[in-house]
A and B are shown apart, each in its own frame.
Chain A
Amino acid sequence: MELKYLHKITDFLYEIPKNFRNDMLVPARIYADMEMLKEIGEDRSLDQLVNVATLKGIQKYAIAMPDIHEGYGFPIGGVVAVDFETGVISPGGIGYDINCGVRLLVSPLLHNEIEPHLVNLANQIMRDVPSGVGRGGDIKLSDEQMNKVLEGGAEALVNAGYGKKEDLEKLESNGRIKEADAKCVSSRAKSRGRDQLGTLGSGNHFLEIQKIEEIYDAETAKIFGLKKGGVTLLIHTGSRGLGHQVCTDYVRLMLGKLREWKIDLPDRELACAPLGSKEGQDYLKAMSAAANFAWANRQVITQTVRKAWEKILSKIDLNYNLDIVYDVAHNVGKIEKHMLSETKSHQRDLVSVLVHRKGATRSFAPNHPDLPQIYQKTGQPVLIPGSMGTASYVLAGTKTAMEETFGTVCHGAGRRMSRGQAKRTVSGSALRQQLEEQGIIVRCASNRGLAEEAPLAYKDIDKVVGIVVAAGIAKKVAKLKPLAVIKGG
């Protein structure tokens, strides 16, 4: 799209007006500066954002974050809130990897205490956490256990001995969306997920041991449990084949009903159902169940990592405790209450909407009733993983995000180069060497997988985070630098 169609609202916010195309129901808004917009304008992501602005019941704006890039149907890095009564729910607006998300753990030790044992820790985690395409884990769920996981999320796993009760309050939605109904998940989806609990998968999913390099807000960081020179561990994965199948099943179902619902779409991947229809409700319940599966998956991985940590550090009498800082979903749909009027801010003006976040992270402000007591003063910890080998950030939610973006920010650096181009530009073995020269331990079975996730294939995370902070929709708390990267193919 040519940038001349965009109106500048601030240095970090641009708008495509509603009259840009006849079928737009709301304007589209993009959080970016001019430099980043030029890059965004090179692919079809802004056209895709305009398509999204045509969805029935959409409220305020179709919103794009600075890490936006072209997807299939919906752009990746987008936020769409629809009216809960009259709007539509779209599986493509959430994505095939339902509740792909990030969990951050923190150790009480300092980097210099962990440093001599890093290789052993990385090796042990690589051995213990199953990773790679289609790789199953040790847990094989019976039908009854599967239903418990789908409806109970992380809590079902804590009840089965995977973790501590205190873990749950540090997870978005406490690791369980209550609308979940296992009956709405097909037996095909369940069979794909049966042996995948506790597995990392492949592609851009990874585990990373990190050093807390910078603290920007000491008071908030202290409450989050983060201190300069400390050590964190980041887990990035989702609902695996189960979530992919749920999305595939419901896109197919909805496509067959569009004519009956008199829904005309510019792209079939925007397939959607009225939220009030049986199909819309069934998808909401199935998607929530898949999201719960992802939280359960990250809970099992957390416990496997804790055991690996204990195995190595208990031998040398070091504190092997790993506490959860937070866990966020960045591909999800949630029923939330938001303020739709721009001028009023009183609780009674809150309206129920369904917020689709596709490659976007919830970032609730201080005093939000959905946050645990411990984070009431700070706002929600927001976890932004960088590309492999680059920094990750911990941010905190703000009031501006509640007012402007349905309490949402970016989700990562955002891909800017195809996997093929990345592989041609950098060899996996050279990249491995380059990362190791920077002191980063790399445990990845495949050089191909490594090259595809090369940092040059992604936007600059510092710039992406700089824009959301400058726009006021998040504030910086800490910067994390990788010490060891563990990924499967």
Chain B
Amino acid sequence: MSFKVLEHTADFIVKANGKTLEELFSETMRGMFEAIGPQFESDKKIKRDIKISSIDLKALLVDFLSEALYQSDVNNEAYFEANFKKLTETELEAELIGRKIDSFEEEIKAVTHHRLKLEKKNNKWVAEVLFDI
């Protein structure tokens, strides 16, 4: 597992890493969904295509997670993998892979930019994202 969930007074933080930027984005998303305890309804895999553009790489990560959260909320799904067709400093196109859920144990209100970290350290990409719950 290449993510962990850290605590914050009224929120929580997901700290993730990846050998590539793609892996980092995918792992941060997996950490986000694992942290809120999805109760899966079915084993059937579901795919959702998403396309995002943002002002910079940090904002792109927040917007990517916000999009996954939006898709999850309106479709009652949780995603555990993202395959990227494109990922630049300001744009991405990806396919989210997940399953239908009954519910989550927690509700995320939003992905925030607060204390956001995204950097390459010792040949590894690392990120820390704070969620409002």
A-contacting 9-mer, from B23-31, B81-89, B102-110, B119-127: B102-110
Whether B105 lies near A72 (C-beta < 8 A) is no
Query: What total of chain B residues lie within 8 Å of the partner, measured CB to CB?
Result: 35
Contact partners of B104 in chain A: CB under 8 A: 133-134
14 new A-B contacts, CB < 8 A, other than A134-B76, A269-B114, A271-B113, are: A71-B132, A72-B130, A73-B113, A96-B132, A133-B104, A133-B105, A188-B74, A192-B73, A252-B54, A269-B112, A415-B9, A417-B9, A418-B8, A418-B9
Q: Which of B107, B111, B116 has the most CB of A within 10 A?
A: B107
Contact partners of B9 in chain A: CB under 8 A: 43, 69-70, 415-418
In the complex, what distance in Å separates the CA atom of A251 from the CA atom of B115? 15
Q: Nearest CB to that of A204 among chain B residues?
A: B10
- Smallest beta-carbon distance A345→chain B, Å: 37
Whether A421 lies near B7 (C-beta < 8 A) is yes
In the complex, what distance in Å separates the CA atom of A95 from the CA atom of B37? 24
In the complex, per-residue mask of A381-421: 1 if CB is within 8 Å of any chain B CB, else 0:
00000000000000000000000000000000001111111
Whether B12 lies near A446 (C-beta < 8 A) is no
Contact partners of B7 in chain A: CB under 8 A: 418-421
Contact partners of B113 in chain A: CB under 8 A: 72-73, 251, 255, 267-269, 271
B-contacting 9-mer, from A12-20, A208-216, A242-250: A242-250
Contact partners of A165 in chain B: CB under 8 A: none
In the complex, what distance in Å separates the CA atom of A448 from the CA atom of B35? 13
Q: Which of B11, B12, B59, B73 contacts A241 (CB 8 A)?
A: B73
Whether A72 lies near B132 (C-beta < 8 A) is yes
Whether B114 lies near A72 (C-beta < 8 A) is yes
A24 on the B face (CB < 8 A): no
Contact partners of A419 in chain B: CB under 8 A: 7, 12, 106, 133
Q: Nearest CB to that of A135 among chain B residues?
A: B103
In the complex, what distance in Å separates the CA atom of A403 from the CA atom of B58? 42
- Smallest beta-carbon distance A352→chain B, Å: 29
A460 on the B face (CB < 8 A): no
In the complex, what distance in Å separates the CA atom of A245 from the CA atom of B74? 11
B55 on the A face (CB < 8 A): yes
In the complex, what distance in Å separates the CA atom of A421 from the CA atom of B12? 11
Contact partners of A489 in chain B: CB under 8 A: 103, 105-106
Interface on B for A, CB 8 Å cutoff? 5, 7-12, 36-37, 54-55, 58-59, 63, 66, 70, 73-74, 76, 103-107, 109-116, 130, 132-133
Contact partners of A132 in chain B: CB under 8 A: 103
In the complex, what distance in Å separates the CA atom of A439 from the CA atom of B29? 42
Q: Which of A201, A248, A267, A269 contacts B66 (CB 8 A)?
A: A248
- Smallest beta-carbon distance A361→chain B, Å: 17
Q: Which of B8, B55, B132 contacts A255 (CB 8 A)?
A: B55
A203 on the B face (CB < 8 A): yes
A167 on the B face (CB < 8 A): no
- Smallest beta-carbon distance B55→chain A, Å: 5
Q: Which of A178-209 contact B (CB under 8 A)?
A: 188, 191-192, 201-203
Whether A248 lies near B110 (C-beta < 8 A) is yes
In the complex, what distance in Å separates the CA atom of A420 from the CA atom of B4? 13
In the complex, what distance in Å separates the CA atom of A76 from the CA atom of B36? 22
A41 on the B face (CB < 8 A): no
A-B pairs with lowest CB-CB distance, top 6: A72-B114, A268-B113, A418-B7, A96-B109, A72-B112, A96-B110
- Smallest beta-carbon distance A331→chain B, Å: 10
Contact partners of B76 in chain A: CB under 8 A: 134
Contact partners of B37 in chain A: CB under 8 A: 448
Q: Nearest CB to that of A136 among chain B residues?
A: B76
Whether A72 lies near B11 (C-beta < 8 A) is yes
Contact partners of B74 in chain A: CB under 8 A: 188, 191-192
Whether A71 lies near B106 (C-beta < 8 A) is no
- Smallest beta-carbon distance B91→chain A, Å: 14
In the complex, what distance in Å separates the CA atom of A421 from the CA atom of B5? 13
Whether A418 lies near B107 (C-beta < 8 A) is no
- Smallest beta-carbon distance A48→chain B, Å: 9
Q: Nearest CB to that of B56 among chain A residues?
A: A255
Q: Nearest CB to that of A446 among chain B residues?
A: B105
Q: Which of A222-270 contact B (CB under 8 A)?
A: 241, 244-245, 247-248, 251-252, 255-256, 267-269
Whether B10 lies near A268 (C-beta < 8 A) is no
A97 on the B face (CB < 8 A): yes
Q: Nearest CB to that of A268 among chain B residues?
A: B113
A449 on the B face (CB < 8 A): yes
Whether B70 lies near A188 (C-beta < 8 A) is yes
In the complex, what distance in Å separates the CA atom of A199 from the CA atom of B63? 27
Known interface pairs A73-B112, A192-B73, A192-B74. Does A203 touch B103 (Cβ–Cβ under 8 Å)? Answer: no
Known interface pairs A96-B132, A255-B113. Does A415 touch B10 (Cβ–Cβ under 8 Å)? Answer: yes
In the complex, what distance in Å separates the CA atom of A117 from the CA atom of B90? 59
In the complex, what distance in Å separates the CA atom of A135 from the CA atom of B106? 12
In the complex, what distance in Å separates the CA atom of A416 from the CA atom of B8? 10
Contact partners of B111 in chain A: CB under 8 A: 248
- Smallest beta-carbon distance B40→chain A, Å: 14
- Smallest beta-carbon distance B63→chain A, Å: 6
- 23 A-B residue pairs with Cβ-Cβ distance under 8 Å, sorted by A, are A69-B9, A70-B8, A70-B9, A71-B11, A71-B114, A72-B11, A97-B109, A192-B74, A201-B107, A203-B106, A203-B107, A241-B73, A244-B109, A251-B113, A252-B54, A252-B66, A267-B114, A269-B114, A415-B10, A418-B10, A419-B133, A446-B105, A448-B37
